[in-house]
Amino acid sequence: MNIAHLIKENLYGGNDELSSAQVVYFKIFEFFVLYNVIQLSWYWGLYTLKITDIVLPLGIATIIDISFMHGNNLPLINAGLISILTVLAFFRKGPSWIYMVVFVLLHFQYVARFSIGEIPHSANLPGMALFSFAVGLIVFKESVHRYRFILGFTIFYIGLGYFSASMSKLIGTGPTWVDGRHLWLWIAEKGTDILSREGTFDYTIVQNIALNSIPAATLMLFVGIFTEFIGPLIWFRKTRPYITLALVGMHFGVMMSMNIRFDAFMMELLLIGMPWPEWYERYKSTITGWFTDPNKIPV
């Protein structure tokens, strides 16, 4: 078995029919994506009302002028339309391409909001998960095929995305990227941002450790980039839970060392990286036993 076939089987293989646990799990994941899409559309829309000029054209804004999104209430109208269409798509009311329309509208919201610079990464995973649903619902008609593609493709770009992040660091800076003094610089920059925004800033215990020791700061950066580098291990079922926990731990470390939060990333990783349906099938007799016989519940 070659590596390409092995990856394909681990990402898109499975049973010919969906179990009830898989159906429930799939809708929970879809609801998570739905919630984030609606939340981001309104968050970006409200902020876009403050923007009057385009400084950094992004995405489709490099092709067409998106200044029509500024100076009016169109961002809020767009957010409302995204919300309605997303709910309709969740309940499969309407054509299969609704999620693709939502994806395009959300992209307009994104480029309008971040046309003034400083592009965050916090929406990457929910945005690409939305794209997975958009493609999956259009291309596939059977539920089992949609399930395999949407989850498999989501896991694929997660692994590829983290690996690409590690390579971009090495290409841009080289092996010296892990120099702990870089972490000192980033801590100082984020500290300035927080101080200017909130009027106060205190170092975390992780930041104190890093600032007091170059080797410790270097080790932190090395662990971070190495975890990203082995991100493709999430493609394989046997290693998926372990690399998921490693990636979540890395993001927690980023939060503690640089005050950068990736809450949606960590939640999506835990949702999609753990074999929840399989765990339910394995322990369902114990779980259902708690409800049928309260005496089995440890108190």
Q: Residue 166: pLDDT above 80?
A: yes
Q: What is the pLDDT of residues 46-105, one digit of tens each?
A: 999 999 888 888 888 899 999 999 999 999 999 999 999 999 999 999 999 999 999 999
pTM for this predicted structure: 0.91
pLDDT at 194: 85
pLDDT at 45: 96
**What is the DSSP annotation of 101-163?**
HHHHHHHHHHHHHTTTS---STTHHHHHHHHHHHHHHHH--SHHHHHHHHHHHHHHHHHHHHH
Q: Residue 196: pLDDT above 90?
A: no
Percent of the chain with pLDDT over 70: 95
Let me know: does 28 contact 271? Beta carbons within 8 Å. Answer: yes
pLDDT higher for 280 or 224? 224
Q: What is the pLDDT of residues 16-49, one digit of tens each?
A: 889 889 999 999 999 999 999 999 999 999 999 9
pLDDT at 155: 97
Q: What is the pLDDT of residues 208-248, one digit of tens each?
A: 999 999 999 999 999 999 999 999 999 999 999 999 999 99
